[in-house]
Amino acid sequence: MSQILLQKEEGKEENMNGHEIFVFIEQTDGTIEDVSLEVLGKAREIADKLGGSVTAVLFGENVESLTGEVAKSGADLVLYGESSLLKDYTTEAYAKVFEAQIRKRKPDVLLIGATHNGASLAASLAIKLGSGLMAHVIDLEIESDTGKLLGSVPGFGGSIVSVCKCSKGDIEMATVRPGIFKQREPSTSRIGVIQRIEADLKPEDKKCKVLERSVKRTEELARTERVVVAGLGCRGELSLPKELAEDIGGSLGVSRPLADKGLVPKDKVVGSTGSSLNAKLAIVLGVSGAAHFSSGIRDVKTVIAINTDSNSQIFKLADYCVKGDLFEILPYLTAELESSSK
């Protein structure tokens, strides 16, 4: 098997004009971001369609052990660069070593998961390389007559999508919104080529330093099947919504104003300034349903909304609407769910 794949790799060396898609694999403290593998899955699909290849690029201090998983998840070639100066993500250091690789291999496309790190890296690289960059796409296609990448870029609170393409530069770039594409099941029969690359950095290349990091790995809202979303109508009292989230085996999200009050971390925000849910079920509590929120629940299969105001916009976005006081209803609902689960 490995021989076959090696031959394929040699074939690529002969034909350097074959479509090569670069995918940035983001890792923090040895954990690969889910979105990176989602993008890798989509890149594989595009490459198979075009008869091209997928190259995953990974940086860090000690990341060789992660390369096998990346190869099994869809990459033909995994390039990894190691340096103590790459231990923590900083845009300047990562963009510098990444730029060198891109200039060397001249890929046709670069896809990056739209995390905060990914978005900053992509925007910096676009300027360094003189390249177009499509932001946080929710779909990627190939334009049939030109073979160019078409990205669907949401804007104006998520209600309007512009289909964009890169018009200048040698490489087409896009960041990809988390939770949109599916990861491929890692295939043990798939053996990509793994190659260490130079990461030429000097301490003076790095003017930023990460002093401290605090990360709690919880399931990202975009990938959660069942979500309870709390809004201002919960009046800062989140114990009942949290209990309900546990009862349905889901997690808690919030509308933007609640996160702004500092009650919950910002990565729990649902809407255009946070996550878009892809859940089967969302129970929306005390949320008014303004435009920037509505895009966050657009793709939810079933929406239940509870709100005291019968004219609330949220009822236009819900399948099951309850006009009432959530503090009266929730205790009965959690009791009902807890008794029936016994």
Partner 1 sequence: MKSLVCMKVAPKVDQIKFDEVKKTIVREGVENEINEADKNALEAALSLKETHGGTVTVISMGPPSFEPYLRLAVSMGADDAILLSDRAFAAADTFATSRVLAQAIKKVGLFDLVFCGEASSDGSTEQVPSSIAEWLGVPQITYANNIKIEDSKVVGRRVITGGYEIIESQLPVLVSVELGANTPRFPDFRRKRWADKEFKLTVWNIQDLGLNPNDVGLLGSYTIVKELKSLPAPARKGEFVTGSPQEIAKKLAQVIKASA
291-310 binders of partner 1 (CB under 8 A)? 291-292, 294-295, 298-299, 301-304
State in angstroms the smallest separation of the CB of 107 from partner 1: 17
Phi, psi of 314 (to 5 degrees): -60, -30
Can you tell me which of 272, 284, 285, 312 binds partner 1, judged by CB under 8 A? 272
Instruction: Give me 101's structure tokens.
Output: 């690789």
Instruction: Give me 145's structure tokens.
Output: 């007559």
State in angstroms the smallest separation of the CB of 22 from partner 1: 17
Can you tell me which of 15, 16, 340, 342 binds partner 1, judged by CB under 8 A? 340
Is 145 an interacting residue with respect to partner 1 (CB under 8 A)?
no
Is 283 an interacting residue with respect to partner 1 (CB under 8 A)?
yes
State in angstroms the smallest separation of the CB of 113 from partner 1: 9
Is 336 an interacting residue with respect to partner 1 (CB under 8 A)?
yes
The sign of the dihedral angle between the CA atoms of 47, 52, 56, 57 is: negative
State in angstroms the smallest separation of the CB of 198 from partner 1: 22
Question: Of the two residues 48 and 170, which places its CB atom closer to partner 1 in the complex?
Answer: 170
Phi, psi of 284 (to 5 degrees): -105, 120
The conformational region for residue 271 under phi > 0 = left, psi -120 to 50 = alpha, else beta, is left
Question: Of the two residues 56 and 300, which places its CB atom closer to partner 1 in the complex?
Answer: 300
State in angstroms the smallest separation of the CB of 222 from partner 1: 11
State in angstroms the smallest separation of the CB of 195 from partner 1: 27
Is 54 an interacting residue with respect to partner 1 (CB under 8 A)?
no
Residue 211 neighbours by CB under 8 Å, 6+ apart:
none
Instruction: Give me 23's structure tokens.
Output: 């995918």
Judged by CB under 8 A, the chain residues 7 through 26 that form the site for partner 1 are none
Distance, in Å, from the CA atom of 197 to the CA atom of 178, rounded to the nearest integer, reads: 27
State in angstroms the smallest separation of the CB of 10 from partner 1: 34
Burial letters 281-305, b for 16+ CB under 10 A, else e: bbbbbbbbbeebbbbbbeebeebbb
Residue 311 neighbours by CB under 8 Å, 6+ apart:
none
Instruction: Give me 300's structure tokens.
Output: 């939810």
Cβ–Cβ < 8 Å for 151, 164: yes
- CA-wise closest residue to 59 among 31, 92, 97: 97
Question: Of the two residues 73 and 90, which places its CB atom closer to partner 1 in the complex?
Answer: 90
For residue 221, which amino acid is it?
A: L
Judged by CB under 8 A, the chain residues 84 through 103 that form the site for partner 1 are 88, 90-92, 95
Query: Binding mask 23-52 vs partner 1 (x if CB under 8 A, - otherwise)?
Result: -----x----x-------------------
Can you tell me which of 101, 120, 251, 255 binds partner 1, judged by CB under 8 A? 120
DSSP secondary structure code for residue 314 in this structure: G
Distance, in Å, from the CA atom of 213 to the CA atom of 109, rounded to the nearest integer, reads: 32
Judged by CB under 8 A, the chain residues 193 through 252 that form the site for partner 1 are 207-218, 220, 226, 248
State in angstroms the smallest separation of the CB of 121 from partner 1: 8
